[in-house]
Structures are given as C-alpha cells and as structure tokens.
Amino acid sequence: MASDFIRDIVTADNASGKHGGRVATRFPPEPNGYLHIGHAKSICLNFGIANDFGGTCNLRFDDTNPVTEDTEYVRSIQQDVQWLGFTWDDRLFYASDYFERLYACATQLIEKGLAYVDSLSADQMREHRGTFAIPGTDSPHRDRSVAENLDLFARMRVGEFADGAHTLRAKIDMASPNLNMRDPALYRIRRAHHHRTGDAWCIYPMYDFAHPLSDAFERITHSICTLEFEAHRPLYDWLISHLDLPGTPQQIEFARLNITYTVLSKRKLLQLVNEKHVNGWDDPRMPTLSGLRRRGVTAQALRRFCEEIGVVKRETVIEAGLLEFCVREDLNKTAPRAMAVLRPLKIVLDNYPADTSEDMNVVNNPEDESAGTRKVPFGRELYIERDDFMEDPPKKFFRLAPGREVRLRNAYLITCHEVIKNADGEITELRCTYDPATRGGDAPDGRKVKATLHWVSAAHAVTSEVRLYDRLFSAEFPGTGDSDFLTQINPHSLERVPNAQLEPSLATHPSGTRVQFERLGYFCVDPDSTPARPVFNRTVTLKDSWTKAKD
Ligand code: ATP
Ligand code: MG
C-alpha cells in the first residue's frame, strides 16, 4: 500500500474509532470540462484510499453552476474514470439531486439566525467586504428578522426577484481575518438552464455551501481536496457544526499536480479547444485523459505516474519527463515491436532474385516471450530511413554509406555500391548487394558491422500517416509572470509524416493498438485510421530526447 500523510490520517482515525472505522471518500468533478492528468492524481488518491482501507469512493458531479456545465462533460468524465481503472458501483451522485435538501439546510440556518437575505448589489457587497488589512462592515440588511428572511428567501426561490437583486448569506463575522468567513454568499438568484434540473430553479447554491453539505449527506469521512481550499475549511466546519446532518466529514488538503511544459487549468484548456489551437479535447497533445489515451498512454502508466509523484502538502512541480519515463517503462513491457520507415529511401539489392520474396521470422517482443513471433516479408526492393544513409559520412556516422556493410535487422548484411540521384542531385535510390550467407543477420565468418537498420519490403509496404508530437508548450511554465500562455505554444508540437511505409502486419490493427516502431519510439493507432490508410500517433520516443543528445 502507498504511504502518505493522508493515509496516515486515515490510519489514525481508524485506530481512534473516529468514524467508527468507516472510510468513505469521493471524487467531485464539476462537469465544466474534460478531466486532465491533475484529476488523475485526485482520482487515484480518492479511489486508492477507499480500496486500500476497504472503504468506498463516490463519484459526485458538483454541478451547482448551470452556466458552464454540460452533459457532454458528464459523459466524458465517467468514461475517463472507468478507463483509469476505477469503479463507483452504484455510488454515482449529483449535487443537483440535493437542491431540495440544500434549500432546506439554508432555511434551517435562517431559522437559527445564522443566515440572512442581503439586498446589496455585487459591487456594494465587495465594498463592504474589506480587504486582508481592513475588516469588513456589516450590511444594512444584516439584522433582518428571521420571518422577513424566510419570506424573502422563499420568494427568491419562486422567482419574484431579478437576478442579483438578493443574495442569501451566512451570518458569521464581517471582521474575521479570514475573508471566507465574512458572511459568505450561500445562494444567488440566477436564471439559467441547468443540464439536469432544467428550469426548476432560479436560485443556485454556492460551491462552498453545497460541497460540505453534499459530503455530509453522503456520509463522507475524509473529504480530500486541493490546497486552495485550506482557507475555506473554517467555513466547511462552520456549516457542518451548525446544521443537523447525517455525517461529519473532515476536509483534508493536498498540493495539486503541476507539470512542466503544460497547463492544467480547465479555463485555459477550454480556451485551447474553443480557439482551435488544438484539435479538440482529445487532441493527443492535450494533458486531458482523453488526449493522453488517444496519444497511446496506458491507464497503467498513468496510475504508476500518480504513485511516483506521491501526495504532499507542499506545492511542487513535476518534470514532464517523469510521465514520459512511466509511459516508456510500461510500453516497453507490453508493446509488440514492428518495423516502420518514416522517411523512406529506396534500396535495390542487385543480386537478389527479382519477383521473389521470403518471410523472415521475427520475435514480437523481446521483453515478453508469450507475444510470439510473426512473419515479415523481405524482397529485392526495400525502404530504409533516409537519415540512415550518408553519401559522405562524418567520422562518427556508422550507418549506411557507399562501400560500407550494415545489418538489416532480422534479415541480411548488405553493402552499398552505388548512389542514384535525380536531375536536382537528390538521392532517389541506393544500389546494394546482400550476402545470402548472413540470413538472420549474422555472418558465418564472424565479421562485424557497426549498425543495424530497420527496413520495410517495398512490394509489401503499407503507406501510412504518422503524427509526431512534441510538447504543446515551449515554455517550462506557460503563462506565468507577464507571459500569455497562447504565445508560448510550441509551433512544432505536431508534425505530420504523410508517406511513412509500414510492414504489412501494421495495416490491420484496430484503433488504440500500441506498438513499438523499432528504433523510433512507441506509437498508437489513431481513431482516424482506416485499413486503406492507417494513421499512427507517436506516444513517446524511445529515449529521453530532451535531456540526452540525439544519436
Ligand atoms: P475548477 O477551477 O473548474 O474548479 P478544478 O480543476 O478544481 O477546476 P474540479 O472539477 O473542481 O476542477 O476538480 C475535481 C477534483 O479534482 C477536485 O477535488 C480538485 O481538487 C481535483 N483536482 C483538480 N485539479 C487538480 C490537480 N491539478 N491536481 C490534483 N487534483 C486536482
Ligand atoms: Mg474545483
């Protein structure tokens, strides 16, 4: 079991019998965007703790703000949590299902003299609120009678007043050093269509009111949230202690996930989508779970990443390279190998019989014997990678060059004899010979070559589009300081290679299949793929190309 300060709290609570040994957590997304890798941290934590302690974790949509929420997001969030490997069984809840109960709680506060209807405008309320340095001042409506407050609140609900005309506020302390305790708003009038309750309500509860009460209704024991809510905890506790509720949840804060070279703000992600800087929420460059999935990242790799980063209370920034490391580690074990040539250069083996071919028996995954072998066709005309040949190679270039012998992986040793060029002087073809005695790739006389190249038989090759992705932002901390994150988008974050040549076994894989293209990286079949024209996304390169120089 993982260990962190939150699990320590749960263990201590179980030992002291605080919640009768019960452990109940929840993951509470607001359906106003797609889930991203930061949410994965929260999901792994909440569902993980429930699993570790034999407890339960609810999926609750915190849908109290009708203006930004949508059923498209509700659907995608459920899909993403399931894909990540977690189940909520029958514990799917919506804060909007509690609107009637929340209203009853607000009424209860009014009856206790702990809430009042204020009629100040938003601007006036801001003026009365004060600052960190200056205490707030009481609203002139603060001392309305319980009867008047009950009457006004009921009339707010039935729609007698315009949006913003009145607000229900908790009656706490306008001089509190904690601004969240200066009579925070509990209900606003807002005529907006809600994706679940339609037009049944024209008043909506504030997040800080709905959240603790929803936790209590569901008898959550440990309400885990990110650090920015630390200063809201006194209000959370105030509400729980002043109302008659079925549970007494405890709020615990942890530091949210930040990663270099990306943004994890839903507002910014929405902007990237709406302004078409990316091709939708599931663009493989996005840090969303749907984007990462389309890119080829496995749920297993993401869970491993969440384990590696751990859970602490101090703000940290995680290197993007750590995610890439987890992805490589996972795919190295699970992804079968195959050969693909991204930028083809044709070679002709002059001494290989024309109009024939043979099948090479090739191991699918050296890390996993159970993956078996496959047959890869070999023939007189082949493609190799254009940058695996140099006509006039510098000292450290060991790959193919005129007069030099190299190995074609799993096939033969070949030697280049002639370079054919077009009228513009571009290399169009290489003439080579192969040594028939080296089938499988080794010479019987034991002579060595310095390079092994991947290749594809030209007669059998399948043409494919390959999409090479790089980090979406070129700045390590996009949008910090005075910078506008949109100006820091990496212009080379997507490169389309239109004419890649694949070995034929790669033509038939369904969307989502992950493979290693030998020497090139891990790739995944994109949903845009068709049998006539496969499309592959590069998930990650084989090596960490950011910290080590390229070979
Ligand atoms: P918003 O600004 O819309 O509230 P949010 O990112 O907080 O954005 P929520 O839908 O409220 O989105 O988040 C659901 C849960 O995921 C919350 O408990 C939140 O604390 C957690 N969460 C969100 N972002 C991160 C992150 N970067 N790291 C860890 N947890 C996160
Ligand atoms: Mg939030």
551 residues of the chain, pLDDT tens digit each: 789 999 999 999 999 999 999 999 999 999 999 999 999 999 999 999 999 999 999 999 999 999 998 999 999 999 999 999 999 999 999 999 999 999 999 999 999 999 999 999 999 999 999 999 999 999 999 999 999 999 999 999 999 999 999 999 999 999 999 999 999 999 999 999 999 999 999 999 999 999 999 999 999 999 999 999 999 999 999 999 999 999 999 999 999 999 999 999 999 999 999 999 999 999 999 999 999 999 999 999 999 999 999 999 999 999 999 999 999 999 999 999 999 999 999 999 999 999 999 999 999 999 999 999 999 999 999 999 999 999 999 999 999 999 999 999 999 999 999 999 999 999 999 999 999 999 999 999 999 999 999 999 999 999 999 999 999 999 999 999 888 999 999 999 999 999 999 999 999 899 999 999 999 999 999 999 998 899 999 999 998 655 443 33
DSSP-based three-state secondary structure for 204: strand
Q: Is the CB of 294 under 6 A from ligand 1?
A: no
Ligand 1 nearest-atom number relative to CA 46? 18
Query: How remote is the CA of residue 29 from the centroid of ligand 1, in Å?
Result: 7
Q: Is the CB of 287 under 6 A from ligand 1?
A: no
**Nearest CA to 331 among 360, 363, 300?**
300
Distance of CA 415 to the CA centre of its chain: 47
Query: How remote is the CA of residue 63 from the centroid of ligand 1, in Å?
Result: 13
Give the whole-angstrom CA distance, residue 416 versus residue 420.
11
The pLDDT, as a whole number, for residue 551 is: 38
DSSP class per residue in 245-301: -S---EEEEEPPP-BTT----HHHHHHHHHTTSSSSTT-TTSSBHHHHHHHT--HHH
Pairing relationship of beta strands 92-94 and 56-61 according to DSSP bridges: parallel
Q: Which amino acid is located at 269 in the chain?
A: L
Protein residue closest via CA to atom 18 of ligand 1: 225
Query: How remote is the CA of residue 413 from the centroid of ligand 1, in Å?
Result: 56
DSSP-based three-state secondary structure for 364: coil
Q: Is the CB of 32 under 6 A from ligand 1?
A: yes
The pLDDT, as a whole number, for residue 257 is: 97
Active-site residue identified among 101, 142, 196, 256: 256
Q: For residue 75, indicate whether it is catalytic.
A: no
Query: How remote is the CA of residue 221 from the centroid of ligand 1, in Å?
Result: 19
Q: Is the CB of 28 under 6 A from ligand 1?
A: yes
Active-site residue identified among 157, 169, 233, 266: 266
Protein residue closest via CA to atom 25 of ligand 1: 38
Q: How many residues does the chain have?
A: 551
Q: Are 469 and 285 in contact (CB under 8 A)?
A: yes
DSSP-based three-state secondary structure for 370: helix
Q: Which residue has the tokens 């109302």?
A: 243
Angle at CA of residue 52, ends 47 and 54, nearest 5°: 90
Q: Is the CB of 95 under 6 A from ligand 1?
A: no
- Residue ranges with strand state E in 271-403: 337-338, 340-341, 344-349, 357-363, 373-379, 381-385
Residue 367 CB contacts under 8 Å (≥ 6 apart), including other chains: 332, 333
DSSP state of 400: B
Mutate to test the pocket of ligand 1, among 226, 259, 306 (most ligand atoms within 8 A of CB): 226
Query: How remote is the CA of residue 546 from the centroid of ligand 2, in Å?
Result: 33
Give the whole-angstrom CA distance, residue 10 versus residue 546.
40
Protein residue closest via CA to atom 8 of ligand 1: 266
Q: For residue 30, indicate whether it is catalytic.
A: yes
Q: Is the CB of 30 under 6 A from ligand 1?
A: yes
Give the whole-angstrom CA distance, residue 141 versus residue 439.
92
In SS3 terms, 509-529 reads as CCCCCEEEECCCEEEEECCCC
Q: Is the CB of 114 under 6 A from ligand 1?
A: no
Q: Is the CB of 264 under 6 A from ligand 1?
A: yes
Mutate to test the pocket of ligand 1, among 4, 30, 318 (most ligand atoms within 8 A of CB): 30
pTM of structure: 0.94
- Domain spans of the chain? 5-254, 340-454
Tell me the C-alpha to C-alpha distance, in Å, between residue 40 and each of 21, 83, 272, 286.
26, 11, 20, 14
Query: How remote is the CA of residue 29 from the centroid of ligand 2, in Å?
Result: 7
Give the whole-angstrom CA distance, residue 444 versus residue 467.
40
The pLDDT, as a whole number, for residue 544 is: 67
Query: How remote is the CA of residue 473 from the centroid of ligand 2, in Å?
Result: 24
Give the whole-angstrom CA distance, residue 116 versus residue 148.
9
Q: Are 277 and 478 in contact (CB under 8 A)?
A: no
The class (CATH top level) of 5-254 is alpha beta
The class (CATH top level) of 340-454 is mainly beta
Give the whole-angstrom CA distance, residue 4 versus residue 186.
34
Tokens standing for residue 433: 């010979």
The pLDDT, as a whole number, for residue 549 is: 38
Angle at CA of residue 374, ends 368 and 375, nearest 5°: 155
- Cα Dmax for the chain: 102
Query: How remote is the CA of residue 268 from the centroid of ligand 1, in Å?
Result: 13
Ligand nearest to the CA of 258: 1
Protein residue closest via CA to atom 4 of ligand 1: 30
The pLDDT, as a whole number, for residue 280 is: 98
Ligand 1 nearest-atom number relative to CA 229? 20
Q: For residue 421, indicate whether it is catalytic.
A: no
DSSP-based three-state secondary structure for 326: helix
Protein residue closest via CA to atom 9 of ligand 1: 29
Ligand nearest to the CA of 31: 1
